[in-house]
Structure 1
Amino acid sequence: MGFFEDVVGKIFGKQPPKAAFVHEMLRRSTKELASYQSWLGGEGQKQLVHDIQHAYYMKKQGILSSIDVHILDTQYSNGFAVSFNPSIGHENFRNLFDFFKEKVLDSGYKLSQGDRRVLDKETHEETIEKWYLKPVTEELGQPIINQRYGNVLIEKVDVNRKPSFIKFMANIYQDRQYTKAEPFQDLFDKVFES
């Protein structure tokens, strides 16, 4: 640290280092799309989806399973997170993240945003891939808009270029302009249906 930074640090307290920040649209390569298509409908995909669904229900009963699932349940946000397990594999984990997006699109949603951010933290590099989906609203001119399950946020977080977790959240509107949100459990069931 230079003299100036040392003096500023003593006067104002140690300032956190500036994080290097990369922000780009999330687009899959031809190779990643081919991997997803060959994974989709295969035994590996079906087993992984089944295992996560099973782990989710076990966790709701307070029972741990081999796949670490976290339940996120608040008044305005509901969802779950899946921690990476080496037995899943990097490619399968990325495909699972994209699979969640496709299942939400099939449930009356449109993709609002897809991006990737790379953050240089003090102790590690963090990459966050995000799909942000909003309900398709055909009721233009109607006094109340159908929010379905609310807006859906799906994030895949890598730490030091290694998968860490996938978070799946439905965030509801509390506004008179929107219908009451449908139960998150219904969305979960649609995402995990066979």
Structure 2
Amino acid sequence: MSIWEQITALFRQAEQSSPSAPAVHELITRDEEELAAYEQWKRTLSRHRLMDWLTDQYAVARSKGRQDQAIGFLDTPSTKGFVIHFHRVQYSPEEIGHFFHYLREQILALDYRSDLSDRRIFSRKDWVETQERHYLKPRNNFVEGQLLNQGFGNITIELERRNDQPHNLRLRATSYQDALYAPSGSFAALMMALADDAA
């Protein structure tokens, strides 16, 4: 197949994409340059400011105060989480991408394993939507007669871009309501762990 035929096929796939059939579905990979930039970002004030803002907003939400319009928190019996509307804040696309991967790294340090990291691209009416996702599960060793440890539940981190500009980032922790599992850790404890430099 020629280059032109490949490009034509990609555009045809994009036009036919749907939530169940993205135009592109691939695993997330980062090259050495991206990894080096990420390691440098972790040592910047930008990372500290972003984490401090997130934990401050969570404290405001718990105290029923007036929180920033750029963030919202989810609190149902089985699912806890947050969404950051990055189109409302002043961070670069690179910083936001690093933050997305940083949350994954912090969770992996909590005895979690990466189940999937993928990217899906959809053609919407007015923009091209890119959804990047990290899906993480607690490591679990079955011991007969003991309840299974579910940590903070299964955790999904999703970064949505519109025309390659970050739109929002969602983190959801979903726990099992099952007699086989010990109760999950609190979302407050997860938020504290995410902010811990030593996680």
Which residue of the other structure, out of 168, 175, 192, is the alignment partner of 2:171?
Answer: 168
The CA deviation at 1:141 is 4.1
Please say if 1:32 is aligned against 2:34.
yes
Unaligned runs of 5+ in 2: 1-14
Instruction: Look up the match of 1:131.
Output: 134
Instruction: Look up the match of 2:73.
Output: 71
The CA deviation at 1:92 is 0.7
Query: Where does 1:134-145 land on structure 2 (aligned, <5 Å)?
Result: 134-145=137-148
Secondary structure, counterpart of 2:148 in structure 1: coil
CA distance in 1, matches of 2:189, 2:61: 18
Instruction: Look up the match of 2:55.
Output: 53
Secondary structure, counterpart of 2:66 in structure 1: coil
Please list the CA deviations of residues 102-157 of structure 1 after superposition, one character each: whole Å capped at 9, or x if unmatched.
11011110101100000112232110100000001123545421001110000000
Which residue of the other structure, out of 87, 90, 98, is the alignment partner of 1:87?
Answer: 90
The CA deviation at 1:80 is 0.5
Asked if 2 retains the 8 angstrom alpha-carbon contact of 1:113 and 1:132, the reply is yes
Secondary structure, counterpart of 2:131 in structure 1: strand
RMSD between aligned residues? 1.7
CA distance in 2, matches of 1:24, 1:146: 31
Asked if 2 retains the 8 angstrom alpha-carbon contact of 1:78 and 1:169, the reply is yes
Identity fraction in percent: 27
Runs of 4+ in 1 over 6 A off after TM superposition: none
Q: What TM-score, normalized to structure 2?
A: 0.82
Instruction: Look up the match of 1:155.
Output: 158
Amino acid at match of 1:73: D
Equivalenced residues, count: 177
Bigger-Rg structure (1/2)? 1
